[in-house]
């Protein structure tokens, strides 16, 4: 700033004014965060995801009925000692109109029917089915129940992914895995003019022998059995993708609970179509997890999904290079989830995980579960949508298959993801996540946008608001209108603990044409 040498008092006042303005700007940024400029037309494409990127699990025990993770009672704290891990449950009513309608709203998707219980489930290819499983099995899957899975998948436009029994009941005298059970399930599926889109040999082999496999089961036995499985599936159902190994719990040496995936892959040799893995940020406190609800918005918590991806992608690159990556089972916490998984708090983990994994090129992410225990997208008794479901619906409608680089400087507590709009050519969609509890952030957009902001009265709320209006089904179970707030070009502010989608129909991004 230029200043005349006369009079000195005028210069002093001018410099004082500049200093005060600078201090005010600095103070405002301390409260509101720094400002970044978005250039939607220039965002380059960095990845693509599968059309069924956003998918979900229905546990096999939900289909057969049995003992599954007991949901926390209303008001029960995750920190309280849970005297009973499991509770008896009847089979999920997959014909329920509300369940089917809400699942179909996320279509197309994969529905994975698997889980630990699938490792010892007997398929009863006869009517009537036995009332108890034969020796070497833990539960019975009837024709009617599997028919119900197929009918649900059709109604929900969901391609079926499953796994097969590996328990002692499917073994010959030498201990080898036999194909009869898997063959009967595939044949019955085909008789209903349906198909299995993809199959993992077994659920979570890295946790063997704690999950239904024979006592003493090791990597050598797995390799032998997997080669039998691979040859069988290629001959019997060649259109079914072979997905594997589906391991979990190895992103650090201290969490390895069973066999090492590297040993499994070395023993089985190449031959999968898709490399799969599982990831949970933690164990539920009902299973001994000690994480705290107040930490779940931190970068240390949210970045756990990247550490798991790095571990398993490294194995993929070593043993099955260039094969697509699928995360076939994931949620906040294993063992049914924590109480906060049914609240607004978990929407930050859910959406941020989708954003991070899409940028990294993971093709499919299957949330566990659709409607069972605390981590279900829907309440298991009423099938009412939880906050995670509404977040899933927004992602499905607004974030397309083409992933873009948003070009935003990374800041603590601010996460920005960009995709092409799934409906409008040239249009760009943003997801802006503010995990700070007290700091707002500002972004400058050069064009008008439509804004969808998710918020709640507090993180523990089981009700979520879109642009200030609660989201809920109406009396006829119809989904509410998902209406945006039109926003002019300029600087936009993103308040603490909010998740905002923005669509920019006039972005004219070449990658989105």
Is the per-residue pLDDT at 30 higher than 50?
no
Asked if residue 369 lies in contact with residue 376, where contact means CB atoms within 8 angstroms, the answer is: yes
Q: What is the CATH number of the domain that holds 125?
A: 3.20.20.80
Whether a cis peptide bond, with omega within 30° of 0, leads into 312 is no
Q: Do residue 313 and residue 446 come from a single domain?
A: no
Asked if residue 473 lies in contact with residue 384, where contact means CB atoms within 8 angstroms, the answer is: yes
Q: Do residue 268 and residue 345 come from a single domain?
A: yes
SS3 450: strand
Q: What is the CATH number of the domain that holds 456?
A: 2.60.40.1180
The CA-based diameter of the chain, rounded to the nearest angstrom, is: 105
**100 vs 418: CA distance, rounded Å:** 30
Let me know the angle formed at the C-alpha of 147 by 143 and 150, rounded to the nearest 5 degrees.
Answer: 145
Is the per-residue pLDDT at 82 higher than 60?
no
Q: Which of 399, 434, 449 marks a domain boundary?
A: 399
pLDDT tens digits, residue range 264-313?
A: 999 999 999 999 999 999 999 888 888 888 889 999 999 999 999 999 99
76: domain range? Answer: 50-399
Average of pLDDT values for 7-17?
42
Asked if residue 80 lies in contact with residue 454, where contact means CB atoms within 8 angstroms, the answer is: no
Q: Do residue 242 and residue 188 come from a single domain?
A: yes
Average of pLDDT values for 442-467?
96
Q: Is residue 6 part of a domain?
A: no
Q: Is residue 3 part of a domain?
A: no
Q: Which band of pLDDT confidence, cut at 50, 70 and 90, is reported for residue 189?
A: very high
CB atoms within 10 A of CB 161: 28
**431 vs 438: CA distance, rounded Å:** 19
Q: Select, from the ranges 44-48, 78-82, 253-257, the one with the highest average predicted confidence (pLDDT).
A: 44-48
Buried b (16+ CB within 10 A) or exposed e, 393-402: bbbbbbbbeb
Q: Do residue 387 and residue 262 come from a single domain?
A: yes
Q: Is residue 18 part of a domain?
A: no
Percentage of residues in the chain having pLDDT higher than 90: 82
Q: Which of 347, 373, 399 marks a domain boundary?
A: 399
Q: Do residue 394 and residue 411 come from a single domain?
A: no
Least confidently predicted of 66-75, 451-460, 467-476, 499-508: 66-75
Q: Is residue 279 part of a domain?
A: yes
Q: Which band of pLDDT confidence, cut at 50, 70 and 90, is reported for residue 103?
A: very high
pLDDT tens digits, residue range 355-397?
A: 999 999 999 999 999 999 999 999 999 999 999 999 999 999 9
Q: Do residue 79 and residue 226 come from a single domain?
A: yes
According to the 3-state scheme, what is the secondary structure of 193-234?
A: CCCCCEEECCCCHHHCCCCCCCCCCCHHHHHHHHHHHHHHHH
Q: Do residue 300 and residue 429 come from a single domain?
A: no
Q: Is residue 9 part of a domain?
A: no
User: What is the rounded average pLDDT for all residues in the chain?
Assistant: 91
Total domain count for the chain? 2
Q: Do residue 119 and residue 197 come from a single domain?
A: yes
pLDDT tens digits, residue range 219-253?
A: 999 999 999 999 999 999 999 999 999 999 886 54
Q: What are the distances in angstroms from CA 259 to CA 71, 156, 276?
A: 29, 36, 16
Q: Is residue 217 part of a domain?
A: yes
Q: Do residue 296 and residue 444 come from a single domain?
A: no
Is the per-residue pLDDT at 112 higher than 90?
yes
E strands present in 62-120: 66-69, 86-89, 109-113
> What secondary structure letter does DSSP report for 381?
T
Residue keyed to tokens 């063959």: 183
Q: Do residue 360 and residue 295 come from a single domain?
A: yes
Q: Do residue 348 and residue 435 come from a single domain?
A: no
Least confidently predicted of 24-33, 159-168, 334-343, 401-410: 24-33
Q: Is residue 235 part of a domain?
A: yes
Residue keyed to tokens 């952030």: 441
Q: Write down the pLDDT at residue 190.
A: 98
Angle between helix 143-156 and helix 180-191 axes, rounded to 10 deg: 50
> CB under 8 Å to 238, separation ≥6 — which residues?
none
SS3 40: helix
Q: Do residue 307 and residue 166 come from a single domain?
A: yes
**372 vs 461: CA distance, rounded Å:** 19
Q: Which band of pLDDT confidence, cut at 50, 70 and 90, is reported for residue 416?
A: very high
Q: Is residue 422 part of a domain?
A: yes
> What secondary structure letter does DSSP report for 70?
P
Q: Which of 352, 368, 399 marks a domain boundary?
A: 399
């Amino acid at each position: 700033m230029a200043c005349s040498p006369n009079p000195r008092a005028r210069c002093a006042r001018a410099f004082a004014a500049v200093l005060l303005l600078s201090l005010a700007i600095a103070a405002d940024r301390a409260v509101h965060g720094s400002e970044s400029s978005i250039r939607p037309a220039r965002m380059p494409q960095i990845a693509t995801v599968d059309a069924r990127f956003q998918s979900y699990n229905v546990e096999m025990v939900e289909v057969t009925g049995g003992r599954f993770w007991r949901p926390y009672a209303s008001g029960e704290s995750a920190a309280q000692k849970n005297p009973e891990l499991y509770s008896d449950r009847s089979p999920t009513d997959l014909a329920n109109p509300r369940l089917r309608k809400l699942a179909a709203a996320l279509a197309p998707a994969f529905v994975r029917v698997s889980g630990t219980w699938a490792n010892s489930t007997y398929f009863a290819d006869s009517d009537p089915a036995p009332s108890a499983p034969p020796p070497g099995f833990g539960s019975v899957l009837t024709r009617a129940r599997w028919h119900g899975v197929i009918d649900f998948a059709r109604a929900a436009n969901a391609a079926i992914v499953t796994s097969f029994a590996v328990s002692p009941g499917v073994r010959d005298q030498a201990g080898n895995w036999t194909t009869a059970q898997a063959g009967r399930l595939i044949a019955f599926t085909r008789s209903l003019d349906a198909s299995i889109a993809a199959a993992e040999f077994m659920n979570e082999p890295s946790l063997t022998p704690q999950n239904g496999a024979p006592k003493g089961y090791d990597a050598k036995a797995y390799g032998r059995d997997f080669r039998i499985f691979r040859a069988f599936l290629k001959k019997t159902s060649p259109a079914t993708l072979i997905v594997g190994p589906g391991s979990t719990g190895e992103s650090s040496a201290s969490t390895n609970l069973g066999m090492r995936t590297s040993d499994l892959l070395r023993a089985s040799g190449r031959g999968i179509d898709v490399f799969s893995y599982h990831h949970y940020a933690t164990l539920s406190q009902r299973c001994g997890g000690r994480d705290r609800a107040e930490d779940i918005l931190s970068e240390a918590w949210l970045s756990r999904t990247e550490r798991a991806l790095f571990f398993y992608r490294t194995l993929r690159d070593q043993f099955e290079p260039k094969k697509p990556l699928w995360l076939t089972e994931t949620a906040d916490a294993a063992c049914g989830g924590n109480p906060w998984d049914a609240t607004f708090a978990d929407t930050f983990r859910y959406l941020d995980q989708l954003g991070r994994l899409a940028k990294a090129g993971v093709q499919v992410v299957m949330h566990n579960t659709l409607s069972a225990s605390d981590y279900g997208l829907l309440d298991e008794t009423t099938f009412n949508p939880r906050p995670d479901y509404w977040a899933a619906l927004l992602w499905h409608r607004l974030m397309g298959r083409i992933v873009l680089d948003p070009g935003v400087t990374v800041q603590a507590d601010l996460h920005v993801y960009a995709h092409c709009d799934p409906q409008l050519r040239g249009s760009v969609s943003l997801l802006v996540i503010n995990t700070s509890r007290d700091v707002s952030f500002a972004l400058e957009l050069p064009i008008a946008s439509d804004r969808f902001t998710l918020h709640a009265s507090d993180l523990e709320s089981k009700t979520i608001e879109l642009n200030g209006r609660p989201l809920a089904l109406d009396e006829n179970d119809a989904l509410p209108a998902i209406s945006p707030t039109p926003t002019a070009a300029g600087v936009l502010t993103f308040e603490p603990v909010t998740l905002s989608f923005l669509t920019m129909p006039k972005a004219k991004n070449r990658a989105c044409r």
